[in-house]
Structure 1
Amino acid sequence: MKKMLIGTVAAIAIAGLASPAAAQTNQLHYDGVQGFLLPSTLTNPGLIQAGQAELSVLGGIGTRYTANAGALGNVGNVGPVDVAFNLSGTVSKDCSFYAGNNASATNLDFGTIGILAGNNVNVTDAFEMVGPAVAIVTSATAGCNFSNVVKIEKDSAAGMVNQATGLSYDSNQFQANIPYRVHAAWTGVADGAGNVPGGPQQLDVSDSALSNTNNQGAWRSGMILTFTAPVAAKALVAGSYASTTHLTLTAL
């Protein structure tokens, strides 16, 4: 009797808990039970069928088995989850070229540009350059993080020009300018090449040209600039020679 009461109480508790949702398990089984004849009444004639098995068990005849399981129903919608997180940010366009720590680093002074001096040379050689003048600049940091234009531009296609004014000289024999060429070399990719490994790139401005450009994709590497003034075609007029060359890296 004690076990029967425990089972009945547990079944009632589970049924109460699961009331908002349909029970997943609801089993009631009897075996070995007998029916009982109860006194007849107007509303209950003869043998009462409903509950007779339970009366048999309570009377000590037969046995009963119950199994009930249930849980509260879902709260809210049931289904998969799809949440989109939109991440965004901005990277500024930038170009870089390390040109030393002060302005003096970019002053390329050839010093004395040697000529054939003295009176023991042939007149066709007198006052002419002894050899080329060369300057090499190496920067370990250069590049742009977007499509860009690498440009080299001289202030004059004539090259280094004599700074004296009002010069007079035989133009058949002398010149007051020293042409030079510029060569730049770095590692990068041509603009429009797509996502590809970088390779050797270069830009040249000839000794008779004013400027030149090279369109590049994003790149970063060292850069080497070589300035070469070949031996001038004619003898040089004495004086100070000067020129300015601009290297510009411009993101598009």
Structure 2
Amino acid sequence: MKNILCGAVAALALVAAAAPASAQTSELHYASPGPIPYQITNPGFFGTLAGELGVALEVGTRYRASADAPSDTETATPVVDVVFTLSGSVNKDCSFYSGNDAGARNIDFGVIGVRTGNNENVNDAFEMVGPATANIDTLTAGCNFNNNVEISKNDIRGLVNTAPGGYDTNEFQANIPYSVAANWTGVALNAQVAGSPQSLTVGTAANAGTKQQGAWRSRMDIDIVAPVVTGKGLVAGDYSGTTTLTLRAL
């Protein structure tokens, strides 16, 4: 069998592995037609020695082919997942639009009428004619996190006359109790539901109240009512009191 190409064309197939790596080419072949014919393929030490001896004595031939290319710098990964972690923060905030200046928050009942007619029965003289009422509403109120809605009066007695002079305590009083009721649309603490009507009331005999809520935003209506004081007349003078509404993020 003739393995030596003479006057023929040898076509070399060049292959680069794109998938799992295969062994790089390393071929060493020897052959001789005589005087002792032989073929040696990829010999070890002694076979190479014999093949090289045949080449040196000019009775044999040799074929060598080798190929080399640097390997991947790292293990190839046919699928790569890259996870981007996005982050940011939103500050806790509560809002309540209460007008453009302090004057908007001064609620003046004006003259609180009492029975001043000289034809009034003595048991009715100087008593309140009717309830004193005030309504406050804002279209912007709420908190963007769990929060407390708090209402507190500075004095449990309500509106107080701080300079009443002397008076018969069996027949007169120098304070006017009042209640405060706030209404808005919100949700319970930690609830993730659609908003519903919420309310907080501090009665005439109470000093403060609080209600926990989840994040909410809506209009808020605040009604202040000082019911008619019965059984006693009111001492003349100036009556005042303060009510504080607090929206406090938890």
Which TM-score band applies after superposition, normalised by the shorter structure? Answer: 0.7 to 0.9
Q: Relative to 1, partners in 2 of residues 1:146 and 1:19: Cα closer, same or farther, differing over 3 Å?
A: closer
Structure 2: which 5+ residue stretches go unaligned?
1-8, 23-32, 38-68
User: Which amino acid is 1:197 matched to?
Assistant: A
The reply to whether residue 223 of structure 1 matches residue 187 of structure 2 is no
The reply to whether residue 96 of structure 1 matches residue 95 of structure 2 is yes
The aligned runs of 1:35-114 (5 Å cut-off) are 42=34, 75=72, 77-114=76-113
Q: Give the C-alpha shift of residue 163 in structure 1.
A: 2.5
Secondary structure at the aligned position of 2:210 is classed as strand
User: Which amino acid is 1:183 matched to?
Assistant: A
Q: Relative to 1, partners in 2 of residues 1:74 and 1:202: Cα closer, same or farther, differing over 3 Å?
A: farther
1:246 corresponding residue in structure 2: 244
Structure 1: which 5+ residue stretches go unaligned?
1-7, 23-40, 46-71
Deviation string 1:78-127 (CA, Å, 9 cap, x unpaired) is 33212121111111111110000000000000000011112011111111
2:205 corresponding residue in structure 1: 208
Q: Give the C-alpha shift of residue 44 in structure 1.
A: 10
Q: Give the C-alpha shift of residue 248 in structure 1.
A: 0.4
* Inter-partner Cα distance in structure 1 for 2:109 and 2:233: 18
Q: Give the C-alpha shift of residue 16 in structure 1.
A: 3.3
The reply to whether residue 199 of structure 1 matches residue 196 of structure 2 is yes
1:16 corresponding residue in structure 2: 14
Query: Normalization by structure 1: what TM-score?
Result: 0.72
* Inter-partner Cα distance in structure 2 for 1:239 and 1:74: 99
Secondary structure at the aligned position of 1:195 is classed as coil
Deviation string 1:156-194 (CA, Å, 9 cap, x unpaired) is 0100000316x21111111100000000000001113x2
2:181 corresponding residue in structure 1: 183
The number of residues matched between the two structures is 197
Secondary structure at the aligned position of 1:16 is classed as coil
Secondary structure at the aligned position of 1:139 is classed as strand
Secondary structure at the aligned position of 2:14 is classed as helix
* Inter-partner Cα distance in structure 1 for 2:221 and 2:101: 19
Q: What root-mean-square deviation, in Å, do the aligned CA atoms of Structure 1 and Structure 2 show?
A: 2.4
- Percentage identity across aligned positions? 54
Q: Relative to 1, partners in 2 of residues 1:152 and 1:18: Cα closer, same or farther, differing over 3 Å?
A: closer
2:58 corresponding residue in structure 1: none
* Inter-partner Cα distance in structure 2 for 1:251 and 1:74: 60
* Inter-partner Cα distance in structure 2 for 1:178 and 1:74: 93
178-187 or 80-89, which moves further after superposition?
80-89
Q: Give the C-alpha shift of residue 42 in structure 1.
A: 4.2
1:158 corresponding residue in structure 2: 157
User: Which amino acid is 2:114 matched to?
Assistant: I
2:130 corresponding residue in structure 1: 131
Q: Give the C-alpha shift of residue 139 in structure 1.
A: 0.6
